[in-house]
Amino acid sequence: MFCCCQCCLSELMNAEAHRKVTLVVVGLDNAGKTTIIRGLQGENLCDQAPVDGVSVAELCLGGCKVTLYDLGGGPGWLGRAMLGSYYAQSHGLVFVVDSSDVKRLQDTRATITDVLQHPHIACKPVLLLANKQDLSGALGEVELIHRLSLEKLVNRHQCRCLIDERLREERKERLGERKEVKRG
């Protein structure tokens, strides 16, 4: 999973050598934002305390200094009004989804919608990271794209998006299966 994050970040970092890149990491509480950041830093992943507010991490990847703002996802965090200042400073966004928490999918969809419609996020690249894929009942990439209406969201808010061709083919197959079921 961490290799995937590093590959996705490479698009931002390949433009200029020795560049500073700032990313905002958001998602619902318990999605795994802090654990992912600590994993990228090579730290111990045991006993992560939830972030209440903002935590800042810095790493070097591919000759770039990457600053990650880990924004707490808890409902009680009072600093939500300040999110715009973090969004304005960022070059892109990482939205972490707990893909095993199907019960909170509507909350996730509402949150990602709110984040993407913020004026300081418009036209910036967004990485949706489907975390906790190893847990039973976790939704796969194609199902998450469908259930969160991601294609509509990124098109509506003009976010830079790349959908893996493998996922496109899986989605076409699923849509074809649904049409056959409806006819039968």
Give residue 141's pLDDT band: very low, low, confident or very high (50, 70, 90): confident
pTM of the model: 0.77
Task: Answer for the pair 87, 116: CB distance below 8 angstroms, yes or no.
Answer: no
How far is the C-alpha of 10 from the C-alpha of 27, rounded, in Å?
A: 21
Pairing outcome for strands 64-71 and 54-61:
antiparallel
Annotated binding residues for GTP, written as ranges, equal 27-34, 73, 131-134
How far is the C-alpha of 40 from the C-alpha of 61, rounded, in Å?
A: 10
- Every domain of the chain and the residues it spans: 2-183
Annotated binding residues, written as ranges, equal 27-34, 73, 131-134
pLDDT digits (tens, 9 = 90+) for 44-100: 776 666 666 788 899 988 888 999 998 876 665 534 566 778 888 899 989 999 999
Residues paired with residue 68 on neighbouring β-strands, in sequence order: 23, 57
CATH fold of the domain at 2-183: Rossmann fold (3.40.50)
**Which pair of tokens denotes residue 174?**
């699923």
Would you call 133 helix, strand, or coil by DSSP?
coil
How far is the C-alpha of 93 from the C-alpha of 113, rounded, in Å?
A: 13
Annotated binding residues for Mg(2+), written as ranges, equal 34
